[in-house]
Structure 1
């Protein structure tokens, strides 16, 4: 989410940046974006299904729920619960459709709801927390989440929102406490998935996979099973097991055919296994289902790695256009945009974006993006200090180690560079179709 992103695990422009819950969804909406809101009978049954995810029957319960709530709000415009739930659903719809124009709509109805009830309206406050996280305004999201939890300290979903905000603000101990509270209140797919991610950030991949397997066992719908399979697949891929990643993705697609996140991770596994034609097809299908910047960028880099520069440039142009669309709808651009500019565009802009991202989202991904942007601008001493912070939790991330290895190389620290580049390829020899070959070339040249 990234919500792994992407991009690193849940960081794909967290708020469904064309999105995200978490996803994607993923850590979309600032985190996994997992749980249904138990605030009224009209709450959607599985909004946690994440971007590009449908039901086994092809029905769209969230769109139907939005229509019902819109009608209810027209008949009773002073119903704060209907307005609050509608606002939250708009945030969710933005993630599912990768359409950021839902964010202004969400804010309008959520603020109307709060005007009608600013005292006990935890649903609208939780909706504002999700909205601000989706727009990468994590400090504001944290404030709203705290207010909501203070009103309803027994709602597990609110603790998930709180945990997501703490995570993206780099407050990992407080995030872990919130996740534990969520698990205690309601052990299930949303809480166990967050517990999995907390373990993964610490580098404890065994616990992370165990918790995600538990999340899969707790899944009560095809969409929930697809969600869990996606993250199992991503964890396998990120740790160098492309065969297992492909197996998990295919099993998830049996639960929800044409699921965009599963098509995306399946494509990454296929590319790692040398199945480039299949990978291009599946990435294109994922992008057609959900035009996330993450997917567009991955397709562009795969094209570039295959020497198809014209197609790659077309994808990069789309990525830039999507960034403008999200910025125009209040989304703060962060690490993905900074890394894109560092690798494919304007190095000075990359540094400006990375510094801004770190202020609003002092998460590991932002530390790594700033380190890489500093490196591409020739500021390697500072880059190394920041890169160390990105790896301070012990996270197993091949891209982070690759970045630090190349920074060490530029500083003339030959042994340290070899260690980091070797570790990057040991974690995942296919972590990126452009950077992994550069890591191997740098080691061979020594």
Structure 2
């Protein structure tokens, strides 16, 4: 599954092996600097909403500075930083900022429910999934009828590969509070289990529960668009992206969605302009990969290689394998970036690190299977692909990768089945993967 989609569902709607960590932040709050709002870019910096946000932040700075034991203001500031991370994509900075306020509250009251819930949420944002799950389990014992914490438990259990627990948590959540947040999680769980019609229906319910123009509502509309993309309804997907952008000007996820539609339709000039526009608004390394894909498709390999090299440099900066401080585990993202760059051994190294932290997660298994495939170790790839398919997920990228891997191990019947299912609705996926899959299916059908 596309990480931008799945991770958005896990985080965006809420106010093992050696890993690589981006943007370190000391857990000792006394040694941390005081974090402030950073300037927004482009349309995000225009309008009354940003002005009121800055004024509100100033008031909270004053309150927390004047009273170090003001838990309410500290948590309000943490909420503000968490929201700003969603809006700008600058999770590395705002996660640290929010965690500072959370730790301040927990130093006063170690069982403060909201602080524990936020700490769990921030750990999920940083991809510290096991830690996030442990903290959420502590918090739910304090407030067993709070829907917010069940949402975090859904997210954490999905990431750790505890899918039955995630389903139980989602059912509890929706029974407590049927709203945009709970319906969107039901949608994602249905997608994971191969029920695209059910996933679309639940995401529509989530959308109906929101308010047009609200950040969470428009994010949900974008996710609905991605579901239509994966099922071959590209025009419907494009309509949802356009509508999200109309309701919320300068909304980067919608711009990225439109860029991807343009890429699939081979309108490379439009796609390039849209990806570049989104890149000025939000921190998202996949934009660079998509731009590099366009450069490859338009016979500009040198430009593509330079862009990917820069992306890898930016993703890997400030990495410390032995650092014990909180930071963002980025092994899955780095694995795909290295594989894209043709540095397959490095890609495998990071895929293994990701897998070792959460061996039951289907995405971690898919990443490792694909890394072994790229390293021509098809037997190992097949075993991990078996695990990746255990929930019956029908994501077309997963099915294409599975079909290619099984074809290489001689399991032609399974390969043919997966590739046929993946391609029959002409999903909006990467053209290189789609073309490779079509060619393999043609050979299998000879």
Q: Pick from 261, 275, 278: which aligns with 1:283?
A: 275
The aligned runs of 1:21-420 (5 Å cut-off) are: 26-27=8-9, 31-36=10-15, 57=47, 59-60=49-50, 62-99=53-90, 100-119=92-111, 121-222=112-213, 223-325=215-317, 327=319, 330-361=327-358, 362-420=360-418
1:421 paired residue number: 419
Q: 1:64: how far off?
A: 4.5
Pick which of 154-163 and 97-106 moved more.
97-106
Q: 1:429: how far off?
A: 4.2
- Over 3 Å counting, the alpha-carbon distance change for 1:64 and 1:208 in structure 2 is farther
How many residues align? The count is 410
Separation in structure 2 between the aligned mates of residue 136 and residue 427 of structure 1, nearest angstrom: 33
Does the Cα contact within 8 Å between 2:402 and 2:418 map onto a contact in 1?
yes
The normalised TM-score by structure 1 is: 0.85
Does the Cα contact within 8 Å between 1:367 and 1:389 map onto a contact in 2?
yes
Q: Larger RCO: Structure 1 or Structure 2 (Cα < 8 Å, ≥ 6 residues apart)? A: 2
Task: Please state whether the residue corresponding to 1:378 is helix, strand or coil.
Answer: coil
- Over 3 Å counting, the alpha-carbon distance change for 1:252 and 1:82 in structure 2 is same
Q: 1:178: how far off?
A: 1.4
Q: 1:262: how far off?
A: 0.6
Q: 1:139: how far off?
A: 0.7
Does the Cα contact within 8 Å between 2:230 and 2:427 map onto a contact in 1?
no
Rg (Cα) greater in structure:
2
Deviations 1:48-74 (A, max 9, x none): xxx999599562355554433222111
Separation in structure 2 between the aligned mates of residue 419 and residue 56 of structure 1, nearest angstrom: 51
Alignment gaps of 5+ in structure 1: 15-25, 37-50
Does the Cα contact within 8 Å between 1:85 and 1:124 map onto a contact in 2?
no
Task: Please state whether the residue corresponding to 1:331 is helix, strand or coil.
Answer: strand
Deviations 1:364-419 (A, max 9, x none): 21110000111222321121111011111111111112212222232234443333
Task: Please state whether the residue corresponding to 1:279 is helix, strand or coil.
Answer: helix
Separation in structure 2 between the aligned mates of residue 254 and residue 104 of structure 1, nearest angstrom: 32
Pick which of 175-184 and 337-346 moved more.
337-346
Separation in structure 2 between the aligned mates of residue 155 and residue 336 of structure 1, nearest angstrom: 33
Q: 1:422: how far off?
A: 2.7
Separation in structure 2 between the aligned mates of residue 397 and residue 335 of structure 1, nearest angstrom: 18
The normalised TM-score by structure 2 is: 0.85
Does the Cα contact within 8 Å between 1:154 and 1:185 map onto a contact in 2?
yes
- Over 3 Å counting, the alpha-carbon distance change for 1:166 and 1:243 in structure 2 is same
Q: 1:132: how far off?
A: 0.8
Separation in structure 1 between the aligned mates of residue 234 and residue 48 of structure 2, nearest angstrom: 29
- Superposition RMSD in Å: 2.5
Deviations 1:175-227 (A, max 9, x none): 11211222122211111111111111111111111111111111124123312
Alignment gaps of 5+ in structure 2: 16-40, 321-325
